[in-house]
Every structure is written in C-alpha cells, then in structure tokens.
C-alpha cells in the first residue's frame, strides 16, 4: 500500500535533503525524521523520508531467533 524506497542522505539543508537512490538523486523532505545526518539511509514515501534504516538485517534476526537468543516478537 505504500510504495517507499531506500536512499542515502548525501546533502542536508534545513528540512530539505538530497538523497541518492542507487545513483539517482532527488531532493526530499526530511521534516518527519529530524535527526538524520549525511550518510544515513532513509526510506522515502511520496517525497518524504518516513524513517531511518538501520543496518540490522532480518536474516540475522532470524538466526538469533532460532538460537533462542533473541525473540523478535514484540
């Protein structure tokens, strides 16, 4: 339902930032994620960054989950 795409913040100015999506650059609005910095990855929906991406990979989570060391239900 909500098409969103990951991009890397390459420049910042007030509530506007430039994000790089695999070589395609676009100015985006970052007012919903006020704490982002250059170099961070964000997910962008309809021209707005909606959240910051962490490097945590679900595959890793899955492995830990199976070992019983980390429950990923909330």
Tell me which residues touch another protein (CB under 8 A).
1-6, 21-27, 29, 31-34, 41, 43-48, 50-59, 61-62, 72-74
Locus of tokens 């990951």: 6
Q: Which is nearer to another protein, 38 or 63 (CB)?
A: 63
In contact, 10 and 19? CB cutoff 8 Å: yes
Nearer of residues 21 and 38 to another protein, judged by Cβ: 21
Q: How far is residue 49 CA from its own chain's centroid?
A: 8
SS3 state of residue 46: coil
Q: Which is nearer to another protein, 12 or 41 (CB)?
A: 41
């Amino acid at each position: 339902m909500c098409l969103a795409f990951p991009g890397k913040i390459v420049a910042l100015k007030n509530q506007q930032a430039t994000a790089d999506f695999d070589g395609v650059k676009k100015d985006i609005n970052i007012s919903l994620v006020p704490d982002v910095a250059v170099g961070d990855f964000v997910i962008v929906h309809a021209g707005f960054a909606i959240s910051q991406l962490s490097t945590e990979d679900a595959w890793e989570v899955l492995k830990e989950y199976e070992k019983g060391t980390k429950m990923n239900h909330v």
